[in-house]
A and B are shown apart, each in its own frame.
Chain A
Amino acid sequence: MLRSSFLNDLNQLKVDLNKMCYLVIKQLENGIDAFKNDDKELAKTVILKDKEVNDMERKIEAACLNLILRQQPIARDLRDISTALKIVTDLERIGDQIADICETIIRLNAKHAFKMVEDIPEMAEIATKMVRDAIQSFNDNDIILAKEVKLRDDRVDELFNNVKLELVEITKNAPDQIDACIEFTIIAKYLERIGDHAVNICEWTEFQETGEMDHTRLI
């Protein structure tokens, strides 16, 4: 096989990206568990572990840029490398947002929030599943799953709007809860953004297979 060292580097890139994907899924699951159970210790662990996510992003970015510099990849290789370069950004942001949620949990009585605001548990559940399935679609090159995951984002957006309305109602009836409600709104916004990043991962998965994004040809 020609270019065996290039192919080894490409494989290593895929291995690292896979590790980062599963690290982010684990962070997300732990973060939501910490939120659900008001587990401040678990929340601290998630925050500390976020550095690992950030370090992986840098490592993968450097590997991608070096491959572009030294190997001038084309065709499928170019799509794989550019997809990796874009997806790590979304993974890192998901990591940041879950760490931010965990910081809020430490400040707040989060269990209270999880139960108090009716639609937050469903938001958390859908967003987590979106990320998990987006990563699966990426790993399996499954465009059908990617398209299906994108559709679920509408429900997350709808729930976010419901949460905002619920929180407005709560503050009207219980002005002493205003501070908490602001934090809950921010948490809901983070969950909504996590859904958006899952959509981005799906779009890059489609690009990796087709060279197109939203029916627009990129390469």
Chain B
Amino acid sequence: MENKIVAKNLNLWYGEKQALKNIDLDIKEKSITAFIGPSGCGKSTFLKTLNRMNDYVDNIRIEGDVILDGENIYADGVDTTILRKKVGMVFQQPNPFPMTIYDNVAYGPRIHGIKDRKTLDKIVEESLKDAALYDEVKDRLHTNALGLSGGQQQRLCIARCLAVEPEVILLDEPTSALDPISTLKIEELLMELKAKYTIAIVTHNMQQASRIADYTAFFLIGEMIEYGKTDDLFSRPQDERTENYITGRFG
């Protein structure tokens, strides 16, 4: 499997505090890669470097490279709007815009200049279908998205992300605010989406990583301690710190 994203010797500081230390990590295309580790280990920070969401943080300094399809996303002249169209993101709390379900999904395509109603209709329908939400909302596309349940709202956010045809989807603890059934629906959805997209997910739920991820990376105090196939990492971790964390002996 080809590498979609390659992080090379990536270092990141918030002011004086170093949050990422010499991270080298390849994300394989059309697969799910999970980042696990205790709070403050740098996993979310690392995820956000993959579409430069950290650019907005004050006093941040980043060294090293993040190569997406052979091009460094931190090179001069990179258009972050185009980057974030290609690398979409879904957050911990479902955050639909206070507008209709239809307008939520059409929001991105409209920003990118699509005005034709039929084209938008098609994008909205396909995105909602891909997010496994269409059947539940097809009769109320023009009602307010805030009326959806938490799980539906999160799938709407995924649909909104898919509507701009990304190649990579970053998810930062996307199910931590959801009930178990909604969580399983999102997990099933991600398993389907990996046929078309490259997915990277931060999760505190280790069972979730072991259920859905093809590859898992364990972070600790800004370092990536171990990275490999999920089956290997959860059955025969190579580093004692990984073993101790995943078996609940510290954290």
Given known contacts A75-B235, A211-B235, A1 and B249 CB-to-CB distance under 8 angstroms = yes
CA distance A3 to B247 in the complex (A): 9
Mark contacts of A191-211 with chain B using CB atoms, 8 A cut-off: 1 yes-contact digit, 0 otherwise. 000000000000000000011
Report the minimal beta-carbon distance from B37 to chain A, rounded to whole angstroms: 15
CA distance A3 to B206 in the complex (A): 15
Please tell me if A2 contacts chain B, counting CB pairs below 8 Å: yes
**Nearest chain-A residue to B248 (Cβ)?**
A3
Cross-chain contact A74 with B250 (CB below 8 angstroms)? no
Name the B residues within 8 Å of A1 (CB-CB).
Answer: 249-250
Please tell me if B246 contacts chain A, counting CB pairs below 8 Å: yes
CA distance A73 to B249 in the complex (A): 12
Report the minimal beta-carbon distance from A77 to chain B, rounded to whole angstroms: 5
Please tell me if B237 contacts chain A, counting CB pairs below 8 Å: yes
**Contact count A vs B, C-beta below 8 Å:** 37
Name the A residues within 8 Å of B251 (CB-CB).
Answer: 2
Please tell me if A144 contacts chain B, counting CB pairs below 8 Å: no
Report the minimal beta-carbon distance from B72 to chain A, rounded to whole angstroms: 36
B247 in complex: contacting residue of A77, A210, A211, A219, CB < 8 Å: A77
Size of B's binding interface in residues, CB under 8 A = 15
Please tell me if B210 contacts chain A, counting CB pairs below 8 Å: yes
CA distance A78 to B236 in the complex (A): 10
**Nearest chain-A residue to B234 (Cβ)?**
A74
Cross-chain contact B236 with A74 (CB below 8 angstroms)? no
Please tell me if A173 contacts chain B, counting CB pairs below 8 Å: no
CA distance A210 to B246 in the complex (A): 18
Report the minimal beta-carbon distance from B93 to chain A, rounded to whole angstroms: 26
CA distance A78 to B246 in the complex (A): 12
Please tell me if B243 contacts chain A, counting CB pairs below 8 Å: yes
**Nearest chain-B residue to A219 (Cβ)?**
B235
Mark contacts of A71-85 with chain B using CB atoms, 8 A cut-off: 1 yes-contact digit, 0 otherwise. 011111111000000
CA distance A79 to B237 in the complex (A): 12
Name the B residues within 8 Å of A79 (CB-CB).
Answer: 235
Please tell me if B207 contacts chain A, counting CB pairs below 8 Å: yes
CA distance A1 to B251 in the complex (A): 9
**Nearest chain-A residue to B243 (Cβ)?**
A75
Cross-chain contact B249 with A74 (CB below 8 angstroms)? no
Please tell me if A6 contacts chain B, counting CB pairs below 8 Å: yes
**Nearest chain-A residue to B251 (Cβ)?**
A2
Name the B residues within 8 Å of A7 (CB-CB).
Answer: 249
CA distance A76 to B238 in the complex (A): 11
A73 in complex: contacting residue of B231, B236, B237, B247, CB < 8 Å: B247
Cross-chain contact A72 with B236 (CB below 8 angstroms)? no
CA distance A148 to B250 in the complex (A): 37
Mark contacts of B181-208 with chain A using CB atoms, 8 A cut-off: 1 yes-contact digit, 0 otherwise. 0000000000000000000000000110
Name the B residues within 8 Å of A210 (CB-CB).
Answer: 236
Interface positions, chain B 206-248, Cβ under 8 Å from A, are: 206-207, 210, 231, 234-237, 243, 246-248
Given known contacts A2-B251, A3-B248, A72 and B207 CB-to-CB distance under 8 angstroms = yes
CA distance A79 to B243 in the complex (A): 13
25 A–B contacts from the bound complex (CB under 8 Å): A1-B249, A2-B249, A2-B251, A3-B247, A3-B248, A6-B248, A7-B249, A72-B207, A73-B247, A74-B206, A74-B234, A74-B235, A74-B246, A75-B234, A75-B235, A75-B236, A76-B243, A77-B247, A78-B235, A79-B235, A210-B236, A211-B236, A219-B231, A219-B235, A219-B236
Which 10 A/B pairs are nearest by Cβ-Cβ distance? A3-B248, A219-B235, A74-B234, A2-B248, A211-B236, A77-B247, A75-B243, A75-B247, A211-B235, A75-B237
